[in-house]
Chains A and B, each alone.
Chain A
Amino acid sequence: MAENNFDWKKYLIVFLITMGLFFTAIYLSNFFGSKKINELKSIQDKIAINILSSETEFSLLSDLSCKNVSGSALSAELDDLGSKLEWSQKNLGAKEEVTSLRQYYSLLEIKDYLLMKKISARCGVKSAFILYFYTTADNCTLCDQESVVLSSLREKYPELRVYSFDFSTDLSAVKAMLNIYKIKDTALPAIVIDDELLTGFHGEEELDSKVQESFKLQESKPAGVLPKQ
């Protein structure tokens, strides 16, 4: 007969080793997670400095000429940061940190939007602006589709700037935007182009023509006149 071979000590030791492995995994995950958060912070700081510097430059030179005004933060950089933040919210453990970074990001977008609008109006830089409102709180399939359309348009027109705002962002500046354009969570995705509000899904062809109109509209405007808000 075989002896009874149950040895609870071994079960315990194996349990502890397994816990050790799990903690190692959690440690590694946190380590790389915080590295990523730091990367996000440094990108964001860089963009913030860019915007601030452009704003300052703009105020300094407002009465002089447009040719010295450099563009604000690169649109591509803002997009890159946006997609990284979105990914982080889905995949990183540190939710609170990512949420506050996303609030900051929304604020930067608004600042960039206001500044670029002024620059383009004053100096006649060819540009078009889309404000895009979506939600991550509910399962919004139309938002998924609209995002793809906007990415494609952005690739087509480097002068087009798309600013995306998550409806659920808890930030007064974003809420103010929602109020200004009367955006409701039942009508998402929503797009604002040249102060016109479009709700629901809009295809690439339709938006393409709107963007082109927006470019034309700008050309017809005399330089140096601020658009009426």
Chain B
Amino acid sequence: MATISNLIFQILVFFSVYVQVFLFVTFLENKKKIIRREGPITLKNYPSVTVIVPCWNEERTIAKTVESLHLINYPKDKLKILLVDDGSTDGTWEIMQRFSNHPNVQIFRKKNGGKYTALNLGLANTKTEFLACLDADSIAGVESLVRLMSYFENDPTTMAVAPSVIVNNPRNIIESAQKCEYYMSVYIKKMLGFMGAIHVTPGPLTVFRKKVFDDLGSYRHAHNTEDMEIAYRMQKNHYKIEQCNDAYVYTNTPKTARALYKQRSRWIYGFINNTIDYRHILFNRKYGNFSTFTVPAAIFSILSVAYLLSRIIYNFSNFIYHKFIVLKINGVGGLIPSHHLDLFFVNTQSLFFVIIFIYTFVFMSITVGRRMAEGKWSISLDTVYFFSVFGLIAPFWLLKAVYNTITARAPSWR
């Protein structure tokens, strides 16, 4: 039993390293192509863009979101904003009405039906060649849209471009940890972009050619992760998705461990179930790196974390058990280590070194991602928060998502 368990563990660890090396090699291959533009840029043409903002009980953030779109560096006559109230029960509709007299804003109100229905209502009212959706808890950076649009200008085969999503104004440990994680995502997404293997077109301001929806159909419920499903559908049909690392969208992230846990359970649940829905494209070379790298890598990471958790729990309970015996026999005094620290007892198993390699890669991903987003090399305390918060809670939301999938229980939004 022990050897089988060990073998599984070694395989999982091997693939974790493999994924990190793959991303790193992609980085080395494409390093020169990563550009970060500082000031405003101009396009040859400014095609019309419709931004759909689906809202459900967003009275606190919606005004800022819309204002950020008004401040955006893009010709006003080329930008249409559609605000869709998906049956909010708070003051969202009243706030939306304040914007109704702007010439480029249109507001809609419908019965609550889920985010994808709000997006589809926006889609039905889109007449422009390009469209973007912007979550009502996010703020678009001034230069974001024009930079995103430059990718379409440079490559006519590009069908969607995702921005760099940055955590808006992190104030506590949970948010700071996510700030780091989002930097890491900037790095990973950019690499997946180079590989043509992006698996999610995030709600905060991904821009699409309208053709995508004309050809492939509208948004689907997709286990509450419609922004992932559309990316899967695009990959299945060989529609190119790019990542624009210098287009910034600032998003409000969960402020508490509980809210984060809920959000991530929903994401992972969405990932597992979308993957099940699209299982036939898995490991099929026809669909490129998306099916041979991105999705398998994500599956492996779920398995690894779940497995690691069981091992950690096992080791930890052993440790507690031993301490408990000492406590029972010797009292509290026995818990204070009496012998001096001996270097002999430092772990030097090969696994220990492999884990150091993995941590180094993760640390590098965060640093490079931060550099790609902020333009500076820096290390902050956030990294420590990241490792501790995600190390502690991530296994649980993974397990929760797996549990929900098995029991066919769809997670709620909030």
Contacts and interface: CB of A to CB of B under 8 A. Distances in A.
B239 A33 contact: no
Interface of B: 14, 17-18, 21-22, 25, 157, 195-197, 238-240, 285-286, 288-289, 292, 322, 325-326, 328-330, 334, 338, 342, 344-345, 347-354, 357
Contact of B289 (A6, A26, A203): A6
Contacts, number: 97
Interface in A1-56: 1-6, 10-11, 13-15, 17-18, 21-22, 24-26, 28-29, 32-33, 36, 39
10 contacts: A10-B22, A24-B353, A25-B353, A91-B349, A145-B325, A148-B325, A148-B330, A152-B329, A152-B334, A155-B338
A91 B292 contact: no
Given A1-B157, A21-B17, A204-B329, A144 B322 contact: yes
A226 B319 CA distance: 45
A93 interface: yes
A149 B292 CA distance: 56
A145 B334 CA distance: 13
Contacts of A11: 22, 292
Interface string A129-152: 000000000000000110011001
A84 interface: yes
A87 interface: yes
B71 to A, nearest CB: 33
B288 A2 contact: yes
Given A1-B240, A2-B157, A204-B329, A25 B357 contact: yes
A39 B21 contact: no
A5 B157 contact: no
Could you say which interface size class chain A belongs to? 35 or more
A145 B330 CA distance: 11
Contacts of A149: 329
Interface of A: 1-6, 10-11, 13-15, 17-18, 21-22, 24-26, 28-29, 32-33, 36, 39, 84, 87, 91-93, 144-145, 148-149, 152, 155, 203-204
Given A29-B352, A36-B344, A4 B288 contact: yes
A152 B331 CA distance: 11
Contacts of B325: 144-145, 148
Contacts of B195: 5
A18 B18 contact: yes
Contacts of A14: 18, 21-22, 25
B25 A2 contact: no
Contacts of B348: 28-29, 32-33, 36
Nearest to B22: A14
Contacts of A3: 196
Nearest to B329: A148
A5 B352 CA distance: 35
Among A6, A36, A148, A203, the most chain B Cβ lie within 10 Å of the Cβ of A6
A156 to B, nearest CB: 11
10 residue pairs, one from A and one from B, having the closest CB atoms: A32-B348, A2-B240, A25-B353, A29-B350, A25-B350, A5-B196, A5-B288, A26-B350, A18-B18, A14-B22
